[in-house]
């Protein structure tokens, strides 16, 4: 039953993507719409999905959080003054267990990397002309009442800025709906983007090293702590 549901969600993702490709997009984004999907899902992926769902549910239970719905609204970049709900500092990781970067994501949650107190970089799916890696206002706590911020233990200010620069390099890349392809560098889902920004600095934030990196995975390892 779980496998059938997961396969259905992936099939829906392909269907949604095909529909979105027919919509008008900005000129600079036209070449970013050609997203490929593998015909076979790697062994162990379903187990990772179930593990991620279980870990997310336990996080919500332990933190005594209420589920929140994703606010699908356009936001300004570099809002002034500091936005209500601003969280974290440069290079920090923002996490909500109940939001979604894409309605097709088989494991709940959403993650972002903090640029500064005014803005974040996030990967969002199924949002037409704002699909993929974009700047968003750092009002994460306003959008998600259950949000928390995490910092990489021992990281210097220079390393944190480098992680942000890595994420900036991927701006306007498309959304990666093949969640088991976390090593792709031409498309990103939310937690994959944050993971990659730090991975390229030699910091492994995927605590179980699976074929997918779920938002909850970014919070469970020994290299981060809640702030």
Q: Residue 148, exposed/middle/buried by CB under 10 A (0-12, 13-18, 19+)? A: buried
193: Cβ–Cβ under 8 A, 6 or more apart, which residues?
Answer: 111, 113, 121, 122, 123, 133, 167, 170
Q: How many CB atoms lie within 10 A of CB 224?
A: 21
Say how far residue 193 (Cα) sits from the centre of its chain. 6
136, containing H or E segment: strand 132-137
* Rounded mean pLDDT, 59-71: 54
pLDDT in tens, 149-178: 999 999 999 999 999 999 999 999 999 998
In the predicted structure, residue 6 carries a pLDDT above the cut 90: no
In the predicted structure, residue 148 carries a pLDDT above the cut 70: yes
What is the share, in percent, of the chain residues with pLDDT greater than 70? Answer: 70
Q: In the prediction, which pLDDT does 43 show?
A: 73
Measured CA to CA, the distance from residue 93 to residue 41 in angstroms comes to: 28
Q: In the prediction, which pLDDT does 104 show?
A: 66
CB 147 within 8 A of CB 87: yes
The pLDDT confidence band at residue 127, using thresholds 50, 70 and 90, is confident
pLDDT in tens, 215-227: 999 999 999 999 9
Q: In the prediction, which pLDDT does 55 show?
A: 72
Q: In the prediction, which pLDDT does 50 show?
A: 75
In the predicted structure, residue 135 carries a pLDDT above the cut 90: yes
* Rounded mean pLDDT, 118-134: 89
* Rounded mean pLDDT, 98-122: 86
In the predicted structure, residue 34 carries a pLDDT above the cut 70: no
In the predicted structure, residue 2 carries a pLDDT above the cut 70: no
Q: What angle do CA 124, 130, 132 make, to 5 degrees?
A: 40
Q: In the prediction, which pLDDT does 16 show?
A: 30
Q: What CATH code would you report for 2-226?
A: 3.90.1720
Measured CA to CA, the distance from residue 178 to residue 114 in angstroms comes to: 24
Query: Any idea where the domains of the chain sit in the sequence?
Result: 2-226
Q: In the prediction, which pLDDT does 56 show?
A: 72
Highest mean pLDDT among 11-25, 125-139, 200-214: 200-214
Per-position b or e across 75-111, b if 16+ CB within 10 A of its CB: beeebeeebeebbbeebbbbbbbbbbbbebbbbbbbb
Q: In the prediction, which pLDDT does 35 show?
A: 39
In the predicted structure, residue 201 carries a pLDDT above the cut 90: yes
* Rounded mean pLDDT, 87-95: 97
């Amino acid at each position: 039953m779980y496998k059938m549901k997961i396969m259905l969600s992936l099939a829906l993702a392909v269907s949604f993507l095909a529909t979105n490709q027919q919509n008008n997009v900005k000129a600079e984004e036209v070449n970013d719409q050609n997203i490929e999907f593998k015909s076979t899902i790697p062994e162990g992926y379903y187990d990772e999905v179930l593990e991620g769902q279980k870990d997310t549910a336990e996080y919500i239970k332990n933190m005594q959080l209420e589920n929140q719905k994703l606010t699908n609204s356009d936001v300004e970049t570099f809002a002034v003054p500091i936005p209500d709900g601003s969280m974290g500092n440069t290079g920090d990781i923002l996490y909500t267990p109940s939001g979604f970067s894409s309605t097709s994501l088989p494991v709940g949650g959403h993650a972002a990397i903090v640029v500064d107190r005014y803005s974040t970089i996030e990967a969002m799916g199924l949002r037409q002309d704002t699909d993929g890696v974009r700047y968003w206002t750092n009002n994460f706590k306003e959008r998600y009442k259950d949000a928390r911020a995490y910092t990489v233990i021992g990281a210097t200010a220079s390393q944190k800025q480098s992680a942000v620069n890595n994420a900036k390099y991927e701006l306007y890349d498309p959304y990666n709906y093949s969640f088991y392809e976390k090593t792709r560098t031409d498309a990103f889902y939310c937690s994959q983007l944050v993971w990659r920004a730090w991975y390229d600095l030699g910091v492994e934030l995927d605590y179980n090293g699976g074929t997918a990196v779920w938002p909850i995975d970014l919070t469970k390892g020994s290299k981060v702590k809640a702030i």
